[in-house]
Amino acid sequence: MTSVRKQRVMMVPAPAQGHVKPLMLFAQKLAQHGFRITFVYTEYDLKRILSAMSDDDHKSIGSDKNIELVSIPDGLCPEDDRSVENLTKAILENLPVEIEKLIATINGNTAIGQRSKSSTSNDKISCVIFDAYLGVSMEVAAKLGIEGVVFCPSSAAILAHSMNLPNLICDGILNDYDGTPTQKQIIQLSSGMPGLDTSWLPWKFDDLASQKIVFQLFLKVGQALKAAQWCLCNTTYDIESVALSSFPNFLPIGPLMTNKINNPLDISGSQFWAEDSSCLSWLDQHKSRSVIYVAFGSITVHEQQQFHELARGLELTGRPFLWVVRPGFISNDEQENRFDPYEFLGNNNNVRKIVNWAPQQKVLSHPSIACFVTHCGWNSTMEGLSNGVPFLCWPYFADQFLDKDYICNVWKIGMGFEPDENGIITSEEVKNKVDKLLNDVDIRKRSLEFKEMTMESIAKNGPSSKNLNNFVKWLDTL
């Protein structure tokens, strides 16, 4: 790492697991170039992350003098429901104000927590890198005369669709009040890009008041993209060539991955639940490409009946499986009779392993993994791609349906599940799709080709590496 004392950069993710992780990965890349990072969580999220850290994680964070963890209030009380709609409302109403206060505190030479700042100019924030879904905060950077940069933790395709929203409203395809479609259709911006199905719009909620709030957030994303000089994306030219060529200011720097090969855990400071690395030694006991990995991210909720069907389907395959069942994954309508997945499936053994949370990047790079049953979040999609793992797609909400379209129809490296007439994905469907996927030689071949392409992107002279280096040079000029 360089010894030159460089500028201080503030990085602000949206308050969600899938947003914190890629931005922390990016923070570590910049820290390796000598920049000092002020990484901003909400108070609620930082408390969760610190409690989930291992002792080694705490030491790792503490030893990195170039990354400082700070927090701001999100405007909600500790006991409040932090649903997507409530957090979105908080983002729109409270976070810009709190971010402005924090920047003023730092640049005004006031102590943060227990750490004080010197009066040197490069101790002040010279640039703020905002999560694209905090686009409303770009106005704060402009107001304070600080460079504002947008970082996208999701696909470039969803950014393209966000920028197209004013056109859809103007053409009468979407209601300008809450984003409700006027008719059922698939919105296709260009051949080679995934289509946006109006039945599964990213801001779609049963409650129209909630939908309106989230729709406003997506409108703000599009406005921020137009205002930003830089829009850095966790993607590559090869996998999103059409979306990236259509919007030249979208610059891919992905896939963002940790360099800590020997660490059994994923990146410090990015996980809301404690990672269970015992699954790695469990995977060591299995043959190459024999284990089904099942993980649905940080927000997906399944009813008990659906959980039962998935569990039975996995058993029917006759294959070993590793399943991430985080707290809150199973809907419990009757709190006094909580469902215990461990009791239902039986104890961990050589055939099955259940963990609350896994070091996913390490899991997907393990040679025993045969396929990935996923909700199609963008982080999971990029991690699966980077390791040549075929997908079985089970999207839950937001841009996950767009990602599924990429996986199944554009890249052709996975398959989707088909629900029955009651909306349930049955055990037979699970078994049949697993068997079909793992017997598809073409999907396996394409998956390995995509792995090679993504790894070439972040090689020394790869296009993503060049984009990152150009951004670093620009930061150096501030």
pLDDT, mean of residues 432-459: 96
Q: Are residues 293 and 430 in the same domain?
A: yes
Q: Are residues 249 and 292 in the same domain?
A: no
Q: Are residues 282 and 252 in the same domain?
A: no
**How distant, in Å, are the alpha carbons of 70, 115, 207, 297, 339 from that of 328?**
27, 36, 21, 11, 11
Q: Within a domain: residue 271? A: no
Q: Report the number of distinct structural domains present in the chain.
A: 2
Q: Are residues 437 and 470 in the same domain?
A: no
Parallel/antiparallel/unpaired status of strands 321-324 and 231-233: unpaired
pLDDT attached to residue 121: 57
User: 370-427: per-residue pLDDT in tens?
Assistant: 999 999 999 999 999 999 999 999 999 899 999 999 999 999 999 999 999 999 999 9
pLDDT at 44 over 80: yes
pLDDT attached to residue 265: 61
Residue 236's nearest CA partner among 475, 466, 477, 6 is 466
| CATH code, domain carrying 423 | 3.40.50.2000
Q: How confident is the model at residue 60 (pLDDT cuts 50, 70, 90)?
A: low
Q: Is the peptide bond before 255 cis (omega within 30 degrees of 0)?
A: yes
pLDDT attached to residue 275: 92
Q: Are residues 383 and 368 in the same domain?
A: yes
Beta-carbon contacts of 28 under 8 Å, excluding residues fewer than 6 positions away, are: 64, 67, 258, 259, 267
Q: How confident is the model at residue 292 (pLDDT cuts 50, 70, 90)?
A: very high
Burial class (CB in 10 A: 0-12, 13-18, 19+), 191: exposed
Which of 115-124, 234-243, 316-325 has the least mean pLDDT?
115-124
Q: Within a domain: residue 107? A: yes
Domain that holds residue 331: 278-455
Lookup result for tokens 């963002």: 256
pLDDT, mean of residues 275-293: 96
pLDDT, mean of residues 169-179: 91
pLDDT attached to residue 56: 62
Query: Can you count the helices (H) and strands (E) in the chain?
Result: 19, 15
Q: Are residues 313 and 240 in the same domain?
A: no
Q: Within a domain: residue 272? A: no
Q: Within a domain: residue 115? A: yes
pLDDT, mean of residues 140-167: 92
pLDDT at 55 over 70: no
Q: How confident is the model at residue 207 (pLDDT cuts 50, 70, 90)?
A: confident
pLDDT at 458 over 80: yes
pLDDT at 5 over 70: no
Q: Are residues 296 and 226 in the same domain?
A: no
**How distant, in Å, are the alpha carbons of 149, 239, 276 from that of 280?**
37, 29, 9
Q: CA 35, CA 23: separation in Å to the nearest integer?
A: 15
Distance spanning both ends of the chain, measured CA to CA = 20
pLDDT attached to residue 227: 81
pLDDT at 318 over 90: yes
Burial class (CB in 10 A: 0-12, 13-18, 19+), 441: exposed
pLDDT attached to residue 112: 41
Beta-carbon contacts of 63 under 8 Å, excluding residues fewer than 6 positions away, are: none
Q: Are residues 225 and 327 in the same domain?
A: no
Q: Are residues 289 and 381 in the same domain?
A: yes
Tokens read off for 127: 């640039």
3-state secondary structure 343-412: HHHCCCCCCEEEECCCCHHHHHCCCCEEEEEECCCHHHHHHHHHCCCCEEECCCCCCHHHHHHHHHHHCC
Beta-carbon contacts of 170 under 8 Å, excluding residues fewer than 6 positions away, are: none
pLDDT at 326 over 80: yes
Which of 2-6, 25-29, 267-271, 409-413 has the least mean pLDDT?
2-6
**How distant, in Å, are the alpha carbons of 15, 51, 53, 273, 426 from that of 48?**
11, 5, 9, 7, 35
Element (H, E) at 416: strand 414-416
Q: Average per-residue pLDDT in the chain? A: 88
Q: Within a domain: residue 240? A: yes
Q: Are residues 206 and 102 in the same domain?
A: yes
pLDDT attached to residue 113: 38
Stated length of the chain: 478
pLDDT attached to residue 428: 97
pLDDT, mean of residues 459-464: 94
Q: Are residues 224 and 337 in the same domain?
A: no
Q: How confident is the model at residue 122 (pLDDT cuts 50, 70, 90)?
A: low
pLDDT attached to residue 118: 42
3 state SS of 462: coil
pLDDT attached to residue 110: 43
pLDDT, mean of residues 350-368: 94
The fraction of the chain above a pLDDT of 70, given in percent, is: 90
Q: Are residues 138 and 163 in the same domain?
A: yes
pLDDT attached to residue 350: 84
Q: Within a domain: residue 468? A: yes
pLDDT attached to residue 111: 41
Q: Within a domain: residue 262? A: no
pLDDT at 57 over 70: no
Q: Within a domain: residue 268? A: no
User: 150-159: per-residue pLDDT in tens?
Assistant: 999 999 999 9
3 state SS of 419: coil
- Looking at residue 196, the DSSP 8-state letter turns out to be E
